[in-house]
Amino acid sequence: MGNLIVFIIIAAFALLGAVGTVTSRNAIYSALFLVLNMAMLAVFYVLLNAPFIAMVQVAVYAGAIMVLFVFAIMLLGAERLPGMLPNRPQVVVALVLGLVILGLLVFSLFTAPLPAGDIEAIDAGPVAVGMTLFERYVLPLEVTSILLLVAMIGVVVFRARTRQRREDA
pLDDT digits (tens, 9 = 90+) for 53-104: 888 888 888 778 777 777 777 777 766 655 555 677 877 888 899 899 999 9
pLDDT score recorded for residue 103: 93
| Mean pLDDT on 131-141 | 81
| Domain boundary assignment for the chain | 1-107, 125-169
How much of the chain, in percent, has pLDDT values that exceed 90? 11
In degrees, to the nearest 5, what angle opens at C-alpha 118 toward C-alphas 112 and 124?
A: 95
- pLDDT, one tens digit per residue, over 105-129 is 899 888 877 766 665 556 667 777 7
Q: Can you tell me the distance from the alpha carbon of 140 to that of 138, in angstroms, rounded to the nearest whole number?
A: 6
What top-level class would CATH report for the domain 1-107?
A: mainly alpha
pLDDT score recorded for residue 12: 92
Q: Work out the end-to-end distance of the chain between its first and last CA atoms, rounded to an integer number of angstroms.
A: 65
pLDDT score recorded for residue 15: 92
pLDDT score recorded for residue 69: 78
CB-CB contact of 70 with 47 (8 Å): no
Q: Can you tell me the distance from the alpha carbon of 32 to that of 145, in angstroms, rounded to the nearest whole number?
A: 23
Instruction: Please tell me the pTM assigned to this model.
Output: 0.56
